[in-house]
Chain A
């Protein structure tokens, strides 16, 4: 069955452009012209992916993104007109978006991002291979999808789970930025070190006793990251 993609943008021409190109590649497309309509159609049609414009009247892209992420793991790609400014990007990723594309985007680039996001969403690692980690402070059981700090459960987004799994699976080993990006996000992303930084920062905030002085998620300039066991 064709993947179903919901595109939300208040500009009908953007909708037409995206719709034409995605439909031509065999995707099923649903469009919405504002945030409220977008949320309604999301619940009605249960798409596999959402492409969401940031600047919209009534309910903006961030708000829509947040509401969708509260109830589902569906990947979201944000369309931002201000892609050059990290703040906007980070805000989107903060709200739970999977990815962003800056306007003006190349159609080819959008298609590549769509493919990668759908592939990521499908590639849930086989359960029997998932590692776990336990010490006095931190418990990570990826099979049960349970992470606790000081016996308090921690809620992680799908991407955060994926990143943490990859790091824990290779615990004690330095992993290069590109290696992590390719494994967690896909080969299209090997230069997007910013994603990685944002997600590591999120994980540290959620898992580390002191996020500013991490002991689990370590960084070596120009090398990469590693998960350091404390036992």
Chain B
């Protein structure tokens, strides 16, 4: 009957174990269990060895089946024999070693199969020993076990490498954040002075200015102001990401925010000859609990972006409404659009799309990142998509609540 054992079943079980898990212990235990059961053994052990400069430095139980067998004297004895066998071997000679068979008391036969590179698989059998056919049938199965160990070890190494990389990445991002914070702070003081002295000159007190002098000073002031905006945005992103921003939430009526900004946005649009329309409807008395300063920043940023990427005489439209118990805000432009493959990254820090770079627009790619941080801190969602007819629609939604 034993002769009729088809190792295919066992091979299949072992192959399954190898294929379904990369956890070393789990894989070996499943494979060992299949082998022990199929060959009607009393117990099985897998021992893994470590070598240093061809010297065996450790040999440990990786897995024993059935688990309680570990306490049996015969099991310990089998392990000792395996150790004696391995001690004389190097990684290379282990591959040439053929299986050893030893007799223990109580009619127990112990089979020690080398697993080249890794260690040994030991089977103990009481009563009738394994037949030569069975032993040779084990060959491909053991090969599978070796593969399993190989895969699992490689996976372990990859995991370690990945953890190392993650750690390096974390350290580097923390350094970048610290650097940016320091630089931004350091830039603020010189900016105070540049802008302060320009303001003082424009005030006329130090002496009268010609029209050209005045215009040049105003240009300098505007550029400094833009630089300040960049610095502030950088700091904002870092502070949001490090959880240092506290929201001063107040109960607000969303149409008020949009109406308050419509004029400012309109001025930006007019300067670029972009026709700009607002459709702000709000039925009911739902309100939004949010930090108005931050929210205004988002509304303005999204609108400003839309205008920036829209050529003159093409429309930009804002829609703000209560929909499905959320405040839904949309800005639709008729600009160049965003390539589909860039869309997933537009909210990332320092990401600037190809079109953004081509537009020769100013910025370092933190505007949308700031928006995302603000909206998410308020429990909302934000997104951007290409319109079928051209241009993009940037949107956010925020939770609302009944007015009390």
Q: Which residues of A contact B (CB under 8 A)?
A: 11, 13-14, 17, 20-21, 24, 81-82, 84-86, 103-108, 193-194, 221-222
Contacts and interface: CB of A to CB of B under 8 A. Distances in A.
Contacts of A105: 192, 196
Interface of B: 185, 188-189, 191-193, 195-197, 199-200, 203, 205-206, 228, 232, 235-236, 239, 244-246, 248, 250-251, 404
Contact of A222 (B200, B235, B250): B250
Contacts of A194: 248
Nearest to A197: B248
A108 B232 CA distance: 21
Contact of A20 (B188, B200, B235, B244): B200
Contacts of B197: 17
A49 B246 CA distance: 31
Q: Please give me the 8 A-B residue pairs with the lowest Cβ-Cβ distance, nearest first.
A: A104-B192, A17-B196, A103-B192, A107-B199, A104-B191, A13-B193, A24-B205, A81-B188
Contact of A106 (B195, B245, B246, B251): B195
A194 B197 CA distance: 30
Contact of B185 (A21, A82, A221): A82
A13 B250 CA distance: 39
B192 to A, nearest CB: 3
26 contacts: A11-B193, A14-B189, A17-B196, A17-B197, A17-B200, A21-B196, A21-B200, A81-B185, A81-B188, A84-B232, A84-B239, A85-B239, A86-B246, A103-B192, A104-B188, A104-B191, A104-B192, A104-B195, A105-B192, A106-B195, A106-B196, A107-B196, A107-B199, A194-B248, A221-B251, A222-B251
Nearest to A79: B192
A211 B279 CA distance: 46
A20 B244 CA distance: 36
A106 B189 contact: no
Nearest to A17: B196
A209 to B, nearest CB: 27
B202 to A, nearest CB: 10
Nearest to B228: A104
A11 B191 CA distance: 13
**Most chain B Cβ neighbours within 10 Å, of A11, A24, A103, A193:** A103
Contacts of B245: 85
Contacts of B239: 84-85
A11 B189 contact: yes
B193 A17 contact: yes
A106 to B, nearest CB: 6
A27 to B, nearest CB: 14
Contacts of B228: 104
Contacts of B195: 104, 106
A81 to B, nearest CB: 5
A84 B246 CA distance: 10
B362 to A, nearest CB: 19
A103 B199 contact: no
Given A84-B235, A221-B251, A106 B199 contact: yes
